[in-house]
Amino acid sequence: RRKEEIEARNKADQAVYGAEKMLQDMGSKLTSSDKAAVETAIEQLKSAITQNDTAAMNRAMEALTTAQHRAAEALYKNAGASTGAGAEGAGGAAGSAGSAGPAGAGAQGSGAAQGDVIDAEVVDEEKK
């Protein structure tokens, strides 16, 4: 039982740290309602940690995860809408490079109209 309490507390501490880091990194890109929801969930989880209530910690972690998922979903939707590339923007935003994905994809296809496929072969003149 004691081990479960310690593990729950460690998971809760990690969840708080991760959520605070997300707010620090992405807070300026979040809407005020999404940011407030995550901050409220963080405070509830911190309260459960100080009370050392395992059940409350688990509920608060679930609420925090839900709030983070909603905020991330809104970020991805905004990133996709701002690039105007639809699925390409969402795919790029999902990568670890963040906003560099859509920008790189746009620069790569600048030689042709977006959506056109070009069949090309690279020939190394020095090897002939």
The full set of domains in the chain, from first to last, is: 1-80 (1.20.1270.10)
pLDDT in tens, 14-53: 888 988 888 888 877 888 888 888 888 889 988 888 888 8
pLDDT band at 84 (very low <50, low <70, confident <90, very high): low
Count of C-beta atoms within a 10 Å radius of residue 41? 22
**Residue 64's closest CA among 56, 75, 52?**
56
pLDDT in tens, 48-57: 888 888 888 8
The pTM for the full model equals 0.56
Share of the chain above pLDDT 90, in %: 1
Q: Is the dihedral of CA 13, 97, 116, 107 positive or negative?
A: positive
Question: What is residue 64's three-state secondary structure?
Answer: helix
